Amino acid sequence: MTSVWRTIRSAYLAAVLIGVPLAARGQGTAANGVSWPQQNVVIRGGWLFTSTGNDVIRNRGVLIVAGRLLAVDRPITPAEMVGARVIDLRDDQYVLPGIFDVHAHYNMTLGAGGVRSDEYTYNPLIFLANGVTSTFPAGEYDPEGMMAARQRIDAGEQIGPRIYNSGPYFGTARRGWNQNATSADIYRDVDEWAAKGARAFKAKGIAPQHLRALIERAHLHGLTVTAHLESGFRNTTNARDAILMGIDRVEHILGGDQLDSNKTAYPLWSMVDTSSKQFKDIVQLFVSRHVMFDPTITAPVYFSQLQDGFDYWIDERKFFTPEVQAWVKTKPARHVVASWDSLYWAMRRTTKALYDAGGQLTLGTDNPSTGEFLAGFSAHRELHTLVLTGIPTAAALKIATINGARALGVSDKLGTIEVGKLADLFVVRGNPVRDIKNTRNVQLVLKSGFVYDPKELLAQAEGKIGPSPRRDP
Ligand SMILES: [Zn+2]
């Protein structure tokens, strides 16, 4: 990047960091190690959902210094107020920890003949504006590009959530995947992506011997593995076997002996009997081995009829380019696709059954956009759907926050509102414990103590996502 462009970019960033006059900001070092001006922040009034208890509490005061929470729920002294940016909340405003989307695809398939590819220029703004401050992309098509986007964000050159890079898919989901790879090949691959900065790995369409090698090597690097698994059919892996290999997390379906290894998994899972012994056995295996489960309940809905929660509270179609918007209008009307529809309901009941058995859940959207919905907004759809399964709202909010932080190994510094943690927060209008849909009303977002106006972030992305022949090179 040229220095002229860097200067322009810095001015642009300063303009988006709202309400903080440049001259008034003190020099500081953000918690992510980036050195740039940062003002102390005080949040007074309103309410807190800290993700440590099961209800909201009145906020007596929050103090953020250098991106970190130095005081939570105590009166802030006049001395601490000096030079600080003071945010006074109304009685109908609630502060929550930032959302973790641990299946946060940046990729999209847009336009006729569009190829699924990662969009990391404007999609980060959409995530952050929705209070999603941490994302695990769960399989990247352009891992170099995604890594560069994360580096720009970490360096303060681009605005977006934290990106915990997954690197490329391990398995047939990767274009050009070598089905005949040896363990040594897998080890080399893992070493390479660990060196490049991958924070955890995602397998999809992986053979048992490859998954075993991936888990073994990733763990030597202190990195975790999650996977989209199958029944065992055609050299795929059942979650039961993956858990015995030591996998850390599993996506979408629990698997186990209810699946027939001579048949593909998903049609069978759509009919899963949660009262069966086989189901209870696999649930018990997840619980006893502390394997986290990321249900992505809303994922099948993107291919079938719309379910409860799939309304537009902001018409997110406007963020796509006019060309993409025109293309979306040419698509056939949505209709029930029986297999996806029944999978959605199966995911709802299996998720609740795992929760009831004491299993650890996370929130993942798995929304590779096709021009109608965007994953940042869909985080609120998934959160709402967790509650539709029967999970209490406070528990769902913890799943969306602290459990995500645990899944990514960062619960010591993120995931709750507690003294000493990084100030990744969002403010909503309306009590989210009383009505989970209130998380959609995002008023303000903080990441490492930097304050963002969601409206300004969204305005930056309007009309920008997707191919456009008129786009400047
Ligand atoms: Zn996915």
Q: What is the pLDDT of residues 426-451, one digit of tens each?
A: 999 999 999 999 999 999 999 999 99
Q: How far is the CA of 105 from the centre of ligand 1 (A)?
A: 7
User: Average per-residue pLDDT in the chain?
Assistant: 92
CA of 36 to the centre of ligand 1 (A): 35
Ligand 1 geometric centre to CA of 430 (Å):
31
pLDDT confidence of residue 52: 98
Can you spell out the DSSP letters for 329-343?
HHSPPP---HHHHHH
Give the separation between CA 298 and CA 303, rounded to whole angstroms.
10
CA of 102 to the centre of ligand 1 (A): 10
Task: State yes or no: pLDDT of 132 exceeds 90.
Answer: yes
Cα of 362 from ligand 1 centre, angstroms: 14
What pLDDT band is residue 33 in, cutting at 50, 70 and 90? Answer: very low
At residue 112 the predicted structure's pLDDT band, cuts being 50, 70 and 90, is: confident
Ligand 1 center to residue 138 CA distance, Å? Answer: 6
Could you report the per-residue pLDDT of 305-323, keeping only the tens digit for each? 999 999 999 999 999 999 9
Ligand 1 centre distance from Cα of residue 446 (Å): 27
User: What is the per-residue pLDDT for 34?
Assistant: 45
What is the pLDDT at residue 234? 93
Interval between CA 55 and ligand 1 midpoint (Å) = 32
Query: What is the model's pLDDT at position 468?
Result: 79
Residues 58-107 pLDDT 10s: 999 999 999 999 999 999 999 999 999 999 999 999 999 999 999 999 99
Q: Report residues near ion ligand 1: CB below 5 Å.
A: 366
Q: What is the distance in A from the centroid of ligand 1 to the CA of 375?
A: 11
Between the CA of 19 and the centroid of ligand 1 the distance, in Å, is 37
Q: Is the pLDDT of residue 462 over 60?
A: yes
30 has pLDDT over 60: no
Centre of ligand 1 to C-alpha 13, Å, is 31
CA distance 70 to 73: 10
Instruction: Name residues whose C-beta falls within 8 Å of residue 182's C-beta, 6 or more positions apart in sequence.
Output: none
Q: How much distance in Å is there from the Cα of 206 to the middle of ligand 1?
A: 14
| Angle, CA of 33, 34 and 38, to the nearest 5° | 110
* Centroid of ligand 1 to alpha carbon of 188 (angstroms): 24
- Interval between CA 294 and ligand 1 midpoint (Å): 11
Give the residue-averaged pLDDT of 325-344.
94
Report whether 99 contacts 132 (CB < 8 A): yes
Cβ proximity of 99 and 396 under 8 Å:
no
Cα 259 to ligand 1 centroid, rounded to whole Å: 21
Q: Is residue 37 predicted with pLDDT exceeding 70?
A: no
Looking at the chain, the whole-number percentage of residues with pLDDT higher than 90 is 89
Task: In whole angstroms, give the CA distance from residue 149 to residue 429.
Answer: 31
Instruction: Select from 458, 451, 465 the least CA-distant residue to 62.
Output: 451
pLDDT of residue 302: 94
* Confidence check: pLDDT of 469 > 80: no
Token pair listed for 89: 């909340």
Would the pLDDT of 17 be above 80?
no
Q: Ligand 1 center to residue 444 CA distance, Å?
A: 28
Query: 370 alpha carbon to ligand 1 midpoint, in Å?
Result: 13
CA of 296 to the centre of ligand 1 (A): 9
Q: Residue 54 C-alpha to ligand 1 middle, in angstroms?
A: 30
Which residues, at least 6 apart from 370, have a Cβ–Cβ distance to it below 8 Å?
108, 109, 110, 302, 328
In whole angstroms, how far apart are CA 343 and each of 36, 53, 269, 469? 48, 33, 7, 38
